[in-house]
Amino acid sequence: MREQEEQSLKEAKRVEKRAAEEAERLAKEQVRKKAYLAREQAIEEARKERGTKRSEKRAAEEIEELAKDQARKEAYFAREQAIAEAQEARKLKAKKQPPE
């Protein structure tokens, strides 16, 4: 009978030890999972930040390009207007001069 009690005691200790090991394993797994999720979240936030910066840069470049295009158009029209005015002035000058 004593042997049976000792064996029951050993079995109880073994079960208790296994339960403690399982609890420890689960705690470690939870810590690993939290660390993994934190890393993933940091990566995602960095990706979003890069995307935002890229969008802002693209928007600024687009605004700059539109301004350059506008300046080019204005310069082109100013040149065309100057040419037209010069042609008109030559025509008027030619009309005012008497034929030889």
* Tens of pLDDT, residues 43-89: 999 999 999 999 999 999 999 999 999 999 999 999 999 999 999 99
Give the chain's domain count: 1
pTM, to two decimals: 0.54
**Hey, what are 80's tokens?**
């065309």
pLDDT surpasses 90 at 29 = yes
Report how far residue 70's alpha carbon sits from residue 45's, in angstroms, rounded to the nearest whole number. 37
Give residue 88's domain range.
1-100
Dihedral through CA 74, CA 76, CA 78, CA 82, nearest 10?
180
3-class DSSP state of 40: helix
